[in-house]
């Protein structure tokens, strides 16, 4: 079959991310996050990233590891633990800058970037303090007789997108077997360089054995590289492959309480290769 | 199976009924209650007096049968698919009534659950804006406050995530039409905004609560009619739905203990 080979390694992905870049991360809260790629970023020397995410532990880990200058978000949550404790610490100490948006504005920003338009109009934000907190946000007046004033949500242009899918092929097509695809396709289309980790790399003709055509949410126009990372979404939810590891997530959240706890967690789970991480969480 | 509860209605069950009443008259809207007692209330409304309500399983499925909270669901009767992306279509087309929580709420219904303190270095980072700005500007919105106190019902919120009536009015007629705050249900009382200035007004008090109790627990001047009724009690059918189907574990009583 004439399919390109876009397979890369975790190191290849990290090597393409430089300090100061804007990185979009797929998933939602503590669900289907490309955690193997996030862990590799934590190990890397990059700094001063702008992270764009429907945020979960991806944001918390990167903030705690000192990789982040700014977070663009509408929430950062671990789902079963409502508030991400490392992100809270980073915000409350003033360690990271914040662009706090409504969830839907965030969607429109990604969509505008994907469609290569400078903004999309919306009523979302009017009347709320989103406008006061983000003075760069402008309004636009409808050129039609209604003359309505709308928010001009600017494109959220990304340097790099990182997403995680259940299945993928070597060409970089990706299949979501979970109930909600979230906004991963938009993340990819909003970015210059797009990397997808997958639980399992399969031959293209295996997609339809696992799910219907509409589950192949990521087509290969949306990706530049694919990397197989078994259990790579751990400890976030990746149903039907595995549920969230709640015990591990509680352990992770607990490390926000003291530097000692974080240092021990980091030595055991983050200052190690992905293979060593997976062995450590199995034990 | 847990033993079925009996006895007179609890405070939590009064709250569940008051939360169900938020949806009365909505017909075919997506009822989207967030949290335990709002979910119990929403499902109660659909089970009884608002059968046309469209409701989710808490995730991406639209289900027609009445699901329990806190236990594995029986088989879901799935009538639709509503992932997050589709939910924005619902919200922006105005076909939803949400019940949200609030860390702070003022007299005009401006809501905050984003953060407290300076934007660059908040004293408490909370949920973030989530969908509150877009929800309130497009949809019917009600609020659920399980801890009615002067810490929550404040003269001025730190950050406006959900848009209140005074701010909506300043946006012009068209937007004011889409914006619609319905009820505020708390562990003490039910409020609405039925005053000429669209300020918070006491609608009913739960049994065992006095108007003075509510006033003492509210950090701003509440509009108080001359005659404040008691919150409507659950009828037998509603108690059966709550105790036998929707909340068999009594999670409502964990959220609002019986006084």
* For testing contact with chain B, the best of A27, A124, A144, A182 (most B CBs within 10 A): A124
Q: What pLDDT sits at residue B176?
A: 80
pLDDT at residue A129, rounded to an integer: 98
Q: Rounded mean pLDDT of chain B?
A: 96
Q: Do B134 and A125 touch (CB under 8 A)?
A: yes
Tell me how crowded residue B248 is: count the other CB atoms within 10 A of its CB.
18
Please state whether the predicted TM-score (pTM) of the whole model is above 0.90.
Answer: yes
Q: Are A30 and A237 in contact (CB under 8 A)?
A: yes
- Please check the confidence at residue B3 and state whether its pLDDT lies above 60: no
Tell me the per-residue pLDDT of A188-217, one tens digit each, with 9 for 90 and over.
999 999 999 999 999 999 999 999 999 999
Query: Are B133 and A77 in contact (CB < 8 Å)?
Result: no
pLDDT tier, B2 (very low <50, low <70, confident <90, very high otherwise): very low
Burial annotation B30-58 (CB, 10 A radius, 16+ → b, else e): bbbbbbbbbbbbbbbbbbbebeebbbbee
Domain ranges of chain A: 10-101+156-203+210-275, 118-154
In angstroms, the CA B246 to CA A258 distance is 41
Cβ burial of B233 (10 Å; 0-12, 13-18, 19+) is: middle
Q: Does A270 reach chain B within 8 Å, measured CB to CB?
A: no
Q: Which residues of A touch B133 (CB under 8 A)?
A: 102, 105, 124-128, 130
Q: From the CA of A253, how many Å to the nearest CA of chain B?
A: 15
Nearest by CB to A75, from B127, B172, B175: name it. B127
- Residue B1 in this model has a pLDDT that exceeds 70: no
Please give the share of chain A, as a percent, with pLDDT higher than 90. Answer: 99
For residue B130, the chain A residues in CB contact (below 8 A) are 74-75, 102-103
Which residues constitute the domain of residue B15?
11-243
Q: Tell me, what's the pLDDT at B137?
A: 96
- Reported as a pLDDT band with limits 50, 70 and 90, residue A40 is very high
Q: What pLDDT is attached to residue B223?
A: 98
pLDDT digits (tens, 9 = 90+) for A113-163: 999 999 999 999 999 999 999 999 999 999 999 999 999 999 999 999 999
pLDDT 10s digits, B58-110: 999 999 999 999 998 779 999 999 999 999 999 999 999 999 999 999 999 99
B132 chain-A contacts, CB cut-off 8 A: 102, 128
Q: According to the model, what pLDDT value does residue A1 have?
A: 81
Closest chain A CA to residue B117: A92
ipTM of this complex = 0.94
Residue B187 in 3-state DSSP? coil
Contact map slice: A 98-117 vs B, CB within 8 A: 98, 100-105, 107
Asked if residue B205 is part of any domain, the answer here is yes
C-alpha to C-alpha distances, B191 to A100, A154, B22, B49, B222, nearest whole angstrom = 30, 38, 11, 21, 9
Lowest mean pLDDT among A251-255, B4-8, B77-81, B250-254: B4-8
Please tell me the predicted confidence (pLDDT) of residue B4: 58
**Residues on chain A touching B163 (C-beta within 8 angstroms):** 126-128
Question: Do residues A112 and A118 lie in contact, with contact meaning Cβ atoms separated by under 8 Å?
Answer: yes
**Does residue B130 form part of some domain?**
yes
Q: What is the pLDDT of residues A93-107, one digit of tens each?
A: 999 999 999 999 999
Residue B200 belongs to a domain = yes
CATH code assigned at B49: 3.40.1080.10
Domain A10-101+156-203+210-275: CATH architecture, name and number where available: 3-Layer(aba) Sandwich (3.40)
Please determine, for residue A37, whether its predicted confidence score (pLDDT) is greater than 90.
Answer: yes
Does residue B164 have a pLDDT over 60? yes
Q: Alpha-carbon distance A198 to A36, whole Å?
A: 10
* Rounded to 5°, angle at Cα A166 from A30 and A101: 35
Over the Cα atoms of chain A, what is R_g? 19
In tens, the pLDDT along B129-156 reads 999 999 999 999 999 999 999 999 999 9
Interchain contact, B134 vs A123, CB within 8 Å:
yes
Mean pLDDT, chain A, rounded, equals: 97
Q: Establish if B46 belongs to a structural domain.
A: yes
Q: Residue A29, Cβ neighbours under 10 Å: how many?
A: 24
- Is A123 in Cβ contact with B84 (below 8 Å)? no
Domain count, chain B: 1
Contact A76 B168 (CB under 8 A): no
Q: What percent of chain A has a predicted confidence (pLDDT) above 70?
A: 100
Sort out which chain A residues have CB atoms less than 8 A from B126's CB and list them. Answer: 83
Minimal Cβ distance to B161: which of A87, A88, A128: A128
Instruction: Kindly report each contact of residues B22-26 with a partner whose C-beta sits within 8 Å and lies 24 or more positions away, as own/partner.
Output: B22/B97, B22/B99, B22/B142, B22/B182, B22/B183, B22/B185, B23/B50, B23/B53, B23/B97, B24/B49, B24/B50, B25/B50, B26/B50, B26/B53, B26/B97, B26/B140
> Three-state secondary structure along B84-153?
HHHHHHHHHCCCEEEEECCCEECCCCCEECCEECCCCCCCEECCCCCCHHHHHHHCEEEEEECCCCCCCE
For testing the chain A interface, which of B85, B121, B128 should be mutated: the one with the most A CBs within 10 Å? B128
Distance in Å, alpha carbon of A279 to nearest chain B alpha carbon: 32
Measured between beta carbons, the chain A residues lying within 8 angstroms of B178 are 123
Q: Which residues of A touch B171 (CB under 8 A)?
A: 126-127
Of B60, B130, B138, the CB nearest to A103: B130
The whole-number pLDDT of residue B5 equals 78
Backbone torsions φ then ψ of B189, nearest 5 degrees:
-160, 180
How far is CA A3 from its chain centroid? 27
Residue B40's pLDDT is 98
Entry field: residues in chain A: 283
Cα–Cα distance, A283 to A281 (Å, whole number): 5
């Amino acid at each position: 079959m004439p399919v390109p080979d876009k397979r890369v390694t975790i190191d290849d992905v990290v090597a393409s991310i430089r300090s100061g870049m804007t990185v979009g991360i797929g998933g939602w809260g503590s669900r289907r996050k490309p955690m193997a790629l996030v862990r590799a970023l934590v190990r890397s020397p990059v700094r001063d990233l702008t992270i764009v995410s429907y945020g979960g532990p991806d944001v918390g880990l990167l903030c705690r590891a000192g990789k982040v200058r700014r977070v663009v978000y509408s929430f950062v949550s671990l789902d079963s633990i409502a508030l991400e404790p490392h992100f809270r610490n980073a915000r409350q100490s003033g360690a990271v800058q914040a662009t706090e948006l409504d969830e839907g504005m965030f969607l429109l920003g990604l969509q505008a970037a994907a469609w290569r338009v400078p903004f999309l109009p919306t009523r979302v934000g009017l009347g709320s303090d989103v406008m006061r907190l983000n003075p760069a946000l402008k309004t636009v007046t409808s050129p039609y007789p209604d003359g309505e004033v709308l928010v001009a949500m600017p494109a959220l242009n990304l340097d790099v997108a990182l997403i995680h899918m259940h299945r993928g092929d070597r060409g970089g097509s990706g299949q979501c077997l979970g109930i909600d695809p979230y906004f991963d396709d938009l993340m990819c289309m909003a970015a210059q360089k797009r990397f997808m980790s997958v639980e399992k790399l399969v031959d293209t003709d295996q997609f339809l054995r696992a799910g219907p055509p509409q589950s192949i949410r990521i087509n290969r126009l949306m990706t530049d590289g694919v990397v197989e990372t078994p259990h790579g979404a751990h400890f976030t939810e990746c149903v039907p492959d595995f549920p969230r590891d709640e015990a591990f997530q509680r352990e992770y959240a607990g490390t926000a309480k003291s530097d000692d706890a974080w240092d021990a967690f980091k030595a055991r789970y983050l200052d190690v290769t992905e293979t060593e991480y997976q062995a450590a969480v199995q034990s | 199976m847990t033993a079925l509860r009996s006895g007179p209605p609890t405070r939590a069950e009064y709250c569940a009924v008051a939360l169900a009443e938020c949806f009365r008259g909505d017909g075919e809207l997506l009822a989207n209650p967030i949290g335990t007692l709002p979910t119990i209330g929403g499902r109660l409304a659909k089970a009884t007096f608002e059968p046309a309500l469209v409701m989710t399983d808490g995730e991406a499925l639209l289900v027609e049968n009445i699901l329990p909270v806190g236990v594995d669901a029986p088989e879901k009767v799935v009538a639709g698919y509503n992932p997050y992306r589709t939910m924005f279509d619902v919200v922006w087309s105005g076909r939803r009534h949400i019940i949200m929580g609030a860390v702070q709420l003022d007299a005009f219904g401006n809501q905050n659950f984003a953060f407290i303190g300076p934007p660059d270095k908040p004293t408490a980072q909370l949920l973030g804006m989530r969908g509150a700005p877009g929800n309130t500007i497009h949809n019917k919105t009600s609020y659920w406050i399980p801890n009615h106190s002067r810490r929550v019902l404040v003269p001025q919120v730190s950050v406006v995530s959900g848009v209140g009536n005074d701010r909506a009015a300043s946006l012009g007629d068209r937007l004011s039409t889409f914006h619609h705050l319905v009820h505020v249900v708390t562990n003490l009382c039910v409020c609405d905004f039925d005053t000429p200035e669209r300020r918070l007004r006491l609608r009913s008090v739960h049994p065992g609560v006095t108007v003075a109790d509510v006033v003492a627990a509210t950090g701003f001047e509440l509009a108080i009619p001359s005659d404040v009724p008691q919150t409507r009690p659950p009828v037998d059918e509603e108690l059966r739905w709550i105790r036998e189907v929707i909340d068999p574990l009594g999670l409502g009583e964990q959220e609002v203990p019986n006084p």
